[in-house]
Each structure stands twice: as C-alpha cells, then as structure tokens.
Amino acid sequence: MKFRILTIIAAAFLAISALSTGADAGERYGKQKVVYHINYPGGEDDKAYKGAMRNVQNHINAVGASNLDLKVVVHGGGIGMMLSAKNTGDLQSAIANLKSQNVTFQVCANTLKGKKISQDSLYEVFDEDIVPSGVAELAHLQAQGYTYIKP
C-alpha cells in the first residue's frame, strides 16, 4: 500500500514538473513559425532522415506544439524520406507522430516530375501537400516570417 501511494505521489510530482517546464518553455520561446528544409539523402537506414525528425520533435518538446507553426519542406534528394517512410516503420511512425502534432510536410512538384515519382508512392502525401517548387516555397515562407532550419 505504501509503495502504491509513493508511486502515485511520484507520478503527480513528475506531471506537475512537466507542466511547469512546458509553461517556462512557452514563456522563454513564445510563438514560433519555423520551416525545416530536407533536400538530402537519408543515408544508411535513413539515419539522416530519422535524425531530422528527432530534431523536429525536440523543437516541439522545447517550445510546445501549441506555440509552433511548423512545416517541413521536402525536395530533391529529400524526397527519399517520403518514399522510404511508405515502407519503413520507424520513419513512418516519426512522420505520423509529427503530423498528429500539426506539423505539415510540403513536397515539391518539380522533384516529383523530374524524378518521375508518383504521389501514390509517397507516405501520406495528399494533393494539398504538394507545392509547385520546394525552393520557392522556402523563400515564400521566409518572407512570411518563418525561421529557416536545415537539420
């Protein structure tokens, strides 16, 4: 019985600590508009892509999802991330988790056309996710006040 009470108290303490940390982070960082740029190959076992998705998640953890308008723009060699995620559980889970936190993934139409890649071969990419040009989208977002990050 004592162990159960101590466990409940410890869990409550951790929950309160997590809430206060989130509030502090929100006060420190405020609202942010951020665009992550992925245009490189993932390497062996998609290591670079997985690392980039961890960076995005760490950013959300630090600032709070409610304080972020976060987009990931994918073009060139980065299209491999969306191709690989169609069949790779870890990468698929990471992207799905980020999407559930309102992260949007924008995919370059020029890359799809140039590499002759169909939208159906990509993981969870819909018509509204396709932008005419990845690089033009990056410039457009920066002009709207988004901070550019290349993980």
The per-residue pLDDT for range 32-75, each reduced to its tens digit, is: 999 999 999 999 999 999 999 999 999 999 999 999 999 999 99
Report the percent of the chain where pLDDT is more than 90: 77
pLDDT of residue 132: 98
Q: What is the pLDDT of residues 132-143, one digit of tens each?
A: 999 999 999 999
Round to whole Å and give the CA distance between 80 and 49.
Answer: 9
Contacts of 71 (CB under 8 A, 6+ apart): 34, 35, 36, 103, 104, 105, 106, 141, 146
pLDDT at 26: 62
pTM reported for the whole predicted model: 0.81
